[in-house]
Amino acid sequence: MSNTLHSLKIKLAFLIGIAVILNDFSFVLDFSPLKAIICVALLGLIFLFWGWWEIRVPKEIALTKVEKFNSTHDKLIFIYGSLLVRDSLLRSLNLSSSEIVCIPCHLSGYRMEWGAASKRRDLLDKKSFSLSDGSMWASLIAVKATGNEGVDGAVIGLSNKDYIAISNREKNYRLREVSGHVSTMSDEAELPQQEVFAFFPINEASDKKDFSSNVFVRKKYFDDISLSLKALGHKGLKKQKAPPLKEAYLIDEQVAKILNSPKGEKSLLNIRDNISRDMTISKETRSVAYSLRPLIFPKPIYEDIINVAEAAVSASTKGLHLLYSDKKLQELADYSEEDEQFLKHSIENDTVMPVITRVDLTISGNRILVLEVNADSPGGMRHLDILSTKQSGRSQKDSSFNWINDQPYESSQAVVNALLESSPGAKRAAIVEYRPEEWPTYPEMLHFSDLMTKSGVPCSILDLESSSLVFKNNQLLSSDGGVPIDLVYKRILWGDFSKSHPSSKNALSEAFLSNSVSVVNSLGSRMASNKLILALLKSKKLVKHLDELGHSLSEGELKVIEDNFPESSIWGDIPTHLAEDIEDKAVKDSILNEPYKYVLKSFHGYGGDEVLIGCDRERPRSLFEDAWGKGYVSQEYIPHGRALMPIYEGNKIVWEYQYYILGAYVINGKCVAIEAKISPEFPINMKQGASRTSVYSTK
């Protein structure tokens, strides 16, 4: 707001100066005092409108022109079209600053035209409702030219991480080396002695000018590119008849338009005050990190997120049958004989499907990608319910948000219902955790204990660090009073379960294996979290074994695996008898040659731990070699989604792009709520400054 206010002060001074001149020289201009007063009043009205428009409609900030780069870069890219728009770039790039420097340049041998028309599901109409009228949207593309035409643009320098992010975004384009065709616009400008690349459409032959009546160019897309070109010293785009311009908006554009104003800032500050005052959970002392605005997705994309999350849980559950049927895979996964026993029992008793799951996803480029299926004691539902209630209650008071389907979530109640359904007739329940009072989610455990008790099933919270459980006469009992327990909500992570008191650990294990108690999630179903499952499911040949086992994947599940599971492979020697069945999609040597394009994830890691990101590490090749055969899968590096977020700093709101991942809570196979974790840093980790917010759809 400071730049805006500075601009307004200049305008005010200018208008006052004109008013003084008019007043002082009214006798020369033959102005009566009344006319002078009218002129001053009109100037005041102009100022008010001018100032309101300055604040109400955020102006596009251009890239920063330089004559040479002050640092080295892994890649030099000639950018044109929407990549010249700073905000468009910031939705992809990993930058600590909102400033993007560039050297204005010209690309010869190519020309610009409208093409690559496609349907889009991420656009909104003027009223911010999902635009689903079947329109096709053309893009500005560069194609080879026969004459002296050229393409105006700029050269930017990218790190390997940013290069991957841009490449992921431009999936329908291929990179081509254009060094000999690029020249600077200024004689003083100097490009580094390095190859320059540019993106060109994959299917140039299909990108012709014969547009049908339903092909359009998004007006803001056109205007932003034209303004960005002018800011760099180029000519703006020429208006054209075909394809015609049409109003359509991205979510971030509409949110910023509404909230980046005095009224919007007041609304955000009110949301902050309400949440800060009312977020306190019973007996909670922790600081709750949350974001001021929810993430919003067009309804079709929101529904896709739900479908992908549900299919990921069901497919991963079926993938456990591959582990169950193969001793070598169980050894590869580093499972003990006890683990194998738990898996066998869960499959035979039809409790292998995790009841309470959170599927972590992100939207990278235009792809929804699954990062993890967390079936090992996910939490955070209570926090999301409270946050969604406060955010939705505030937005429902503002007609500007009537396009959001912002019903509060009730994921806590969905969990309780699932627990009760898992053991009809249960008389007493227990929530088990290792040192529960030390966990930030302890208030949530208290909340679930209260909800269970109010539902007619008394529930206590037991610490498995101590001897809190015994198994006697084929019955699980609490050691303090011998109270029978027939329903267990397992909140303890598997890594902590091994640290539990031997008597408590053995008691719960024996009770589970004897069917004396219902355990949610079952001690076998939590294995769906194993990232080895993702690598196995990406093998088409190995997936066919599921047909033989009687657990075929549905067409929907196969499509989700193909489209929404990242490319994954086992990072280590594959068991000999499976080597011919598993396609080695990422050959060891090719990964080691370009490790910055890949990530290694531990089979059992979670929360961003035990992850080696090639483009984030020094000497990644050496690190990758050292991790060979030590329980990792290799995956394509997936840049996380980016969104424009309002941040509370120094009693005011500032806007900046931050990373996000989505967490879809899938209870008994159905998605009941979606949250987002937001962070300025990647990878996102709640222990390192990340915050939470709700996720809603448009109507």
Distance CA 411, CA 383 (A): 10
Kindly state the tokens that stand for 344: 């066998």
Q: What is the mean pLDDT of the chain?
A: 86
Residue 544 makes CB contacts below 8 A (sequence gap 6+) with none
Hey, which bits of 219-306 come out as E strands? 245-246, 295-297
C-alpha distance from residue 465 to each of 73, 461, 468 (Å): 51, 12, 8
| pLDDT interval class at 11 (50, 70, 90) | low
Segment 176-200 shows an average pLDDT of 95
Tens digits of residue pLDDT in 166-176: 988 888 889 99
C-alpha distance from residue 448 to each of 1, 196, 327, 414, 630 (Å): 44, 58, 38, 11, 38
The residue whose two tokens read 């007996």 is: 283
| pLDDT interval class at 277 (50, 70, 90) | low
Segment 530-551 shows an average pLDDT of 89
Amino acid identity for residue 273 in this structure: D
Helices marked H in 525-647 — which ranges? 532-537, 540-549, 555-564, 588-593, 620-626
Segment 606-614 shows an average pLDDT of 79
Kindly state the tokens that stand for 257: 């338009």
Segment 119-124 shows an average pLDDT of 90
CA angle 491, 492, 493 (to 5 degrees): 115
| pLDDT interval class at 440 (50, 70, 90) | confident
Q: What is the dihedral of CA 575, 576, 580, 585, to 10 degrees?
A: 40
Q: Tell me, which fold does domain 410-520 have in CATH? A: Rossmann fold (3.40.50)
Residue 197 has pLDDT above 90, yes or no: yes
For 233, left (φ over 0), alpha (ψ -120 to 50), or beta?
A: left
Kindly state the tokens that stand for 369: 């990608």
Closest by CA to 535, choosing from 328, 376, 333, 338, is 333
pLDDT at 429: 97
Residue 632 has pLDDT above 70, yes or no: yes
pLDDT at 412: 96
pTM over 0.85? The answer is yes
Distance CA 287, CA 692 (A): 12
| pLDDT interval class at 206 (50, 70, 90) | very low
pLDDT at 509: 97
| pLDDT interval class at 686 (50, 70, 90) | confident
pLDDT at 392: 85
Residue 515 has pLDDT above 90, yes or no: yes
| pLDDT interval class at 134 (50, 70, 90) | confident
Distance CA 562, CA 558 (A): 6
pLDDT at 345: 96
Could you give phi then psi for residue 513, rounded to 5 degrees?
-70, -20
Segment 610-621 shows an average pLDDT of 88
| pLDDT interval class at 233 (50, 70, 90) | very high
| Pairing verdict, β 150-158 and 64-65 | unpaired
The highest-confidence range among 48-52, 125-129, 454-458, by mean pLDDT, is: 454-458
pLDDT at 53: 41
Q: List b or e across 586-598, with b for residues whose CB sees 16 or more CB atoms inside 10 angstroms.
A: bebeebbeebbbb
For 246, left (φ over 0), alpha (ψ -120 to 50), or beta?
A: beta
Tens digits of residue pLDDT in 22-78: 555 454 445 566 666 676 667 666 655 555 444 433 455 789 999 999 999 999 999
Kindly state the tokens that stand for 306: 């739900």
Spatial contact of 268 and 647, defined as CB atoms under 8 Å apart: no
| Pairing verdict, β 429-433 and 459-463 | parallel
Helices 502-513 and 337-348 sit at what angle, rounded to 10 degrees? Answer: 30
C-alpha distance from residue 104 to each of 59, 65, 84, 97 (Å): 21, 7, 10, 20
What does R_g of the chain's alpha carbons equal in angstroms? 29
Domain ranges of the chain: 2-56, 64-249, 251-280+288-405+525-567+639-699, 410-520
Which range (47-51, 108-112, 132-136, 652-656) has the least confidence? 47-51
Residue 567 has pLDDT above 80, yes or no: yes
Distance CA 277, CA 287 (A): 12
The residue whose two tokens read 């309804």 is: 299
pLDDT at 58: 41
Max Cα–Cα distance, the chain, nearest Å:
110
The CATH code of the domain at 64-249 is 3.10.490.10
Pick the residue with more confidence: 12 or 477? 477
Residue 211 has pLDDT above 90, yes or no: no
Pick the residue with more confidence: 254 or 408? 408
Segment 309-327 shows an average pLDDT of 94
Which range (127-141, 569-583, 636-650) has the least confidence? 569-583
Distance CA 360, CA 670 (A): 15
Tens digits of residue pLDDT in 143-162: 998 878 899 999 999 999 89
Kindly state the tokens that stand for 101: 């420097």
Could you give phi then psi for residue 566, rounded to 5 degrees?
-65, 155
| pLDDT interval class at 485 (50, 70, 90) | very high
Please list the residues that pair with 698 across neighbouring strands.
404
Spatial contact of 172 and 201, defined as CB atoms under 8 Å apart: yes
How many Cα atoms within 13 Å fall on the side-chain side of residue 394?
22
Percent of the chain with pLDDT over 70: 86
Spatial contact of 644 and 657, defined as CB atoms under 8 Å apart: yes
